[in-house]
Chain A
Amino acid sequence: MDDFTTRLKRAVVGEPDTSLVFLGNFEVEEQWARGEHTLPRVSAASGSAVVNHMDEFALLLAGPTDHVVLKAAPDADHLAYLAGLGIELPTVHVVADQDPLRNVTEDALAAPALVTTLSGLDAHLVAHGVSEVEERLAAATGLPLAAPDAATCKTVNSKVYSRRVADELGLRQPVGWACDTVEQLERAFAEAAPLVERGEKVVVKEALGVSGKGIAVLESARRMDRLFRMIARSVEKSGQPRIAFCVENWVAKKTDLNYQFTVGRDGVTHFDFVKELFTEGGVHKGHRMPARLSGAQVDELVATAELLGKKLSADGYFGVVGVDAMVDPDDGLYPVIEINARNNMSTYQVPLQERFVGAGQIALARHYPLRLTGELGFGTVRTLLDGLVLERQGGAGLLVNNFATVNAGARDDAAFDGRLYGIVVGSTDAEIAAIDAEITTRLAKEDR
């Protein structure tokens, strides 16, 4: 069977031998949400720097005939480590003047020499998700986008779209309301009021919020009333009447799931994987692969993917689709909590999973938070984690799949937060837990 990157090429271009130029523009939702009404929010500059350097994940999705645009040159020791594992890396193009607050596409647009270089390639452009910024880069470079237009991508990534599609297809989802006017929101809150009165929680989600952000959990009628007035006032002041929020009953769950399928230009849907969100003490730590599900549960997700793929294709979308789903306490599924018709964090793990998580092995993809006072090199980390790093196919240990996020927030004058992303491969959950715990302990010694 073709590997994932080849299948991706077949799906989005139609040619498995084509070259792609990858852009890891994580949190593309921020672009889609421009001009939309949001929940009260502030954003931290240091957090943006780390998110923008998640662009380096694209390095491991691309094949040797592909290209990747990055904000910063990868750590040479990290590249040597990856090459030592037998990974054939793509051609890397680094932007001239990266700005920590810009994503990789915005940086590329501001780099004329890079735009010229890209213009000379015989390749298609692919992105984490397509917004107007990626359309501008496609226009500037003359590279065709191997994706639907930004307007289509924005539409099908809205949680309002997701709720309405699930209703249309008869898929189970928590009780809720999709709202695109203030009047609908007012009605939704009125209908949700009995839920909070009997002690249940209601969650309000921005339709174009980044997963896990742009949500407010409401436990009282007073808070619902206050949030409604905030949004209504914002609408009144802006003169922009259209809103996009979902209001949902906060339901009990046993496990969160993330599954992915790919929709071809021809409408054919291919189910890629399902992973389980891994939590410890109630804290989300990463993804466990494979998910611990029954055959019937997997079949239900595959059938759901088929239905969603048809619908998305009919609405003009093709490409990667990630879906968040949940298992309820009685093992029933909520097969669609949210459609993310773009790459997901777990998309970038697939080529590594195909090569390094063998039959009978399992893996935990996660990040380790770091607090640093100076830049940390991959060589230092590898020494620090001696004996815990994955060294070969079939082995066990940590495979670092993004190192740019470690030093992304580096500042001369103060300590900064970084993230070390990796996949811990092992044969049993106990083995993975032991490696994971030892990595955490050793990295804590490096925290300064």
Chain B
Amino acid sequence: MSDTADIQTTAPERARIVSAITTVLAQVLDYDLPELTESSRLFDELGLDSTGVFELLMQLEEALEVEFDTDNLEMAHFETVASLADFVVAERDA
């Protein structure tokens, strides 16, 4: 978890976001995922691909009732569960 995320969000809120991410990943990837941690790597380890990113974002927006700015997506946002949670927090607070 990054320092930024610590400052901007409470632990239960962070847990809610991480939980939403893992639930949505299971739906998008559609196979029995291993137990996920914040350091689980979305592309390298779990097999997310560029087409899956759109579906992941849509489902996350609906689950967390936020809207992301999708113009400037960076690979770094999708590196791990933790980096995606940081992205969600930053977008929510934007």
Contacts and interface: CB of A to CB of B under 8 A. Distances in A.
Nearest to B48: A44
Contacts of B61: 226
Contacts of B75: 42-45
Nearest to B58: A223
Interface in B1-56: 43-44, 50-51, 53-55
B71 A233 contact: yes
Interface string B73-87: 111011000000000
A42 B53 CA distance: 8
Contacts, number: 46
A230 interface: yes
Interface of B: 43-44, 50-51, 53-55, 57-58, 61-62, 67, 70-71, 73-75, 77-78
A45 B44 CA distance: 11
B71 A44 contact: no
A43 B77 CA distance: 11
A216 B54 contact: yes
Given A230-B70, A234-B71, A237-B71, A41 B58 contact: no
Interface string A36-67: 00011111111100000000000000000000
Given A45-B75, A230-B70, A237-B71, A39 B58 contact: no
12 contacts: A39-B54, A40-B57, A40-B70, A41-B54, A42-B73, A42-B77, A45-B75, A47-B50, A217-B55, A226-B58, A230-B70, A233-B71
Query: Main SS of the interface on chain B?
Result: helix
B52 to A, nearest CB: 10
Query: Main SS of the interface on chain A?
Result: mixed
Contacts of A234: 70-71
Given A40-B54, A212-B51, A46 B44 contact: yes
A213 B70 contact: no
Contacts of B67: 226
Nearest 4 CB-CB pairings of A with B: A40-B70, A42-B75, A216-B54, A42-B73
Nearest to A39: B54
A248 to B, nearest CB: 16
B90 to A, nearest CB: 16
A70 interface: no
A376 B55 CA distance: 35
A230 B58 CA distance: 11
A40 B43 contact: no
Contacts of B44: 46, 417
The CB with the most chain B CB atoms within 10 A, among A39, A42, A216, A223, is that of A42
A125 B47 CA distance: 37
Interface string A226-254: 10001001100100000000000000000
A233 B68 CA distance: 12
A223 B62 CA distance: 10
Contacts of B57: 40
The CB with the most chain B CB atoms within 10 A, among A43, A46, A217, A230, is that of A230
Contact of B43 (A41, A44, A214): A44
A222 B63 CA distance: 13
A211 to B, nearest CB: 11
A40 B51 contact: no
